[in-house]
Amino acid sequence: MTEERNFDAHGGGRFGAFVALPGKLPAPALVLLQEVYGVNRFMRRITEYWAAQGFMAVCPDVYWRLKPGIVLDPETPGHREQALETGGRLDVDLAVRDIAGMVEQLHAAKECSGRVATAGYCLGGKLAYLVGTRGGADCNVSYYGVGIEMHLDEAAKLSKPLLMHIGESDPWTPEAVRARLRDALGASPLVTMHVYPDTGHAFARERAATDVPAMRELANGRTRAFLEANLR
């Protein structure tokens, strides 16, 4: 079952989210954090996938403060440029506060078992990391997060488990960036980092041109085990 639902924002106001519920409730909640393209067809498919795995899956409109309902498609000409421009205007600090507030609300939701995680993709992968350093989720997952290296001064604030998936051939995380991530996070007992050989960006964007099914299934299986270990 899917629905649209509103959540209270940091400092006032409300923002929307796409919600997919599993067959059995209450269940742990999983906040799916969007790529730079908004809550589009690919993020909705990802949200429905995780609901089918037994989680209360919630994908918030992170861009709502810019304009509610921004939806772009990576396979539509011109949308990539619009997405990068929009993502560049996002107030990341406010977005993380909104997400942290949503996590608190989900902890108390009747459909939720009381345990909440985030899993973010691209832009959302960075946001998931920052929720790990600032927010109250029980664990966090970053799929090919872009820009985490700009916030490594916060690495010491991590207090919950973090799982990271990175494509070896991802132009957004070349070896120099991966080295910085390893140096800052690799020794932490809270961090598990997987690098996928010969794999580019957005490899878990199911049915997209960038989809790498074998690597997507491997990463999703690792995420499922991680969530089961930390939320059940």
Report the catalytic residues. 122, 170, 201
Asked if residue 164 lies in contact with residue 193, where contact means CB atoms within 8 angstroms, the answer is yes
Strand ranges for 144-231 from DSSP E: 162-167, 191-196
CB-neighbour burial class of residue 26 (10 A; exposed 0-12, middle 13-18, buried 19+)? middle
Give dist(CA 47, CA 18) in Å, integer.
8
The amino acid that residue 91 corresponds to is D
Cβ neighbors of 85 (< 8 A, separation 6 or more) are none
Asked if residue 103 lies in contact with residue 117, where contact means CB atoms within 8 angstroms, the answer is no
Tokens of 187: 């020794």
User: How many other C-beta atoms can be found within 10 angstroms of the C-beta atom of residue 131?
Assistant: 30
Strand ranges for the chain from DSSP E: 2-8, 14-20, 27-33, 56-60, 112-121, 139-143, 162-167, 191-196
The 8-class DSSP code of residue 23 comes to S
